[in-house]
Amino acid sequence: MTTHPVPDGETSGPPTSSAAGTGTRLDRWLDSYAERTHGMRSSEIRALFAVANRPEVVSLAGGMPFLEGLPLDILGDLAQRVVATRGLQALQYGSGQGDETLREQILDVMALEGIDAHPDDVVVTTGSQQALDLVTRIFIDPGDVVVAEAPSYVGALGVFRAYQADVVHVPIDADGLIPAALESTLATLSREGRRVKFLYTVPNFHNPAGVSLSVERRPQILEIARRHGVLVLEDNPYGLLGFSTEPVPALRSLDDEGVLYLGSFSKTFAPGYRVGWVVAPHAVREKLVLASESAILCPSNASQIAISTYLSTCDWRGQIKSYREQYRERRDAMVSALTEHLPDASWNVPDGGFYTWVRLPDGLDAKDMLPRAVTARVAYVPGTAFYFDGSGADHMRLSFCYPTPERIREGVRRLAGVVAGERDL
């Protein structure tokens, strides 16, 4: 089994002294870097993750899907067939907006969450990470405000930082983003004359908090955003991965003009193809396509055709069902291990997705503790990665998506040993 996880926390961490990070004395071009690179951060936890990826370490850090559940033999045949029968198209440049057949199929996927759109509304991207980059590129000038949940997906914070946005966090609770808190944050920002460009939200099975925005709150959040003239960026890679409930209506299904919707095949199928998408109103979409063409010319035809063929010839709904069952079993293992070994900590019980968000007891510092955890052969992402200002040290994100239930139990047992050791320090 080869595992080379790229943990979601990898690019997070405290600022380094300069854009070039360590070793700047050797960097001839130090004075030449663009201003915006100063917001790019090197990670002090990256070195630890190199160790965390060793097989003896139980990594509860990465957000990697459990691909062993995929029918690799069938996918192998499919890839061969794609090259043999459609190779001249698959290996050629394609449309900047993305393959039209795939865009039609994406509508079927989104229909599961109540979205009614046209293929022209969809722009295919290289993972939803590229969609985050494109949206930020077309909307953010240095100093503009992005309002985002506290905590927020580390990869999104990295993009916002790279474009010199200022992120203002809004608290969440067990039902997701708190409408009253959003209202007061936007009112304060407006009084201060700050320019808010969009609200970034992960409404389903949040990364890292594991919670979902309740159905009741969805129209309230949209109404508040609309009243303040703020666009909503709905990032939804986990919406189809609920353990006990069917998908709920996406924010985009309630508002065509005020929401940009980001989807991805990374968690419901496989991240290696790097295929995601944005759904956007006409004018925004045109800018996104221009921005994407200047970045990558076009998304990979080979990947798009492979996914399109998978969707039309394989039981993708059955695959998602099987993922849901696997992840539910792992979630159960995580929660029972936490109950047994870390009863003084507090955590949520996620009803879908990949992550548990754990609060350490006694004000312990998860970032500070990480080197000792890695020595004890267990890894996680400290909460600081998920806050723009580096707060959140009393939290950690534990992923249950990749390790087997036995490894999860062993990882949490090791973690409890580390926590006990911290108290004795």
Q: How far is the CB of 398 from ligand PMP (least distance, A)?
A: 15
- 4 vs 50: CA distance, rounded Å: 9
Return all residues near 398 (Cβ < 8 A) that are at least 6 apart.
60, 334, 338, 347, 355, 356, 357, 358, 380, 411, 412, 415
Q: How far is the CB of 277 from ligand PMP (least distance, A)?
A: 9
- 65 vs 421: CA distance, rounded Å: 31
Cα angle: 156, vertex 171, 284; to 5 degrees = 40
Q: How far is the CB of 37 from ligand PMP (least distance, A)?
A: 22
Q: What is the largest CA-CA distance in the chain?
A: 65
Nearer to ligand PMP, 154 or 412 (CB): 154
Nearer to ligand PMP, 209 or 419 (CB): 209
- 44 vs 287: CA distance, rounded Å: 36
Q: How far is the CB of 278 from ligand PMP (least distance, A)?
A: 11
Nearer to ligand PMP, 269 or 347 (CB): 269
Q: How far is the CB of 237 from ligand PMP (least distance, A)?
A: 5
- Ranges of beta strands (E only) in 230-275 are 231-235, 259-264
Nearer to ligand PMP, 206 or 367 (CB): 206
Q: How far is the CB of 17 from ligand PMP (least distance, A)?
A: 28
Q: What is the DSSP string of 166-215?
A: EEEEEEEETTEE-HHHHHHHHHHHHHTT--EEEEEE--SS-TTT-----T
Nearer to ligand PMP, 276 or 392 (CB): 276
Nearer to ligand PMP, 144 or 235 (CB): 235
Q: How far is the CB of 235 from ligand PMP (least distance, A)?
A: 5
Which residue number places its CB atom closest to ligand PMP? 127
3-state secondary structure of 238: coil
Q: Which residues bind ligand PMP (CB under 6 A)?
A: 8, 63, 127-129, 153, 155, 202, 207, 235, 237, 264, 266, 271, 276
Nearest to 374 by CA among 35, 30, 59: 59
Please, what sign has the CA dihedral across residues 89, 94, 100, 102?
A: positive
Nearer to ligand PMP, 202 or 221 (CB): 202
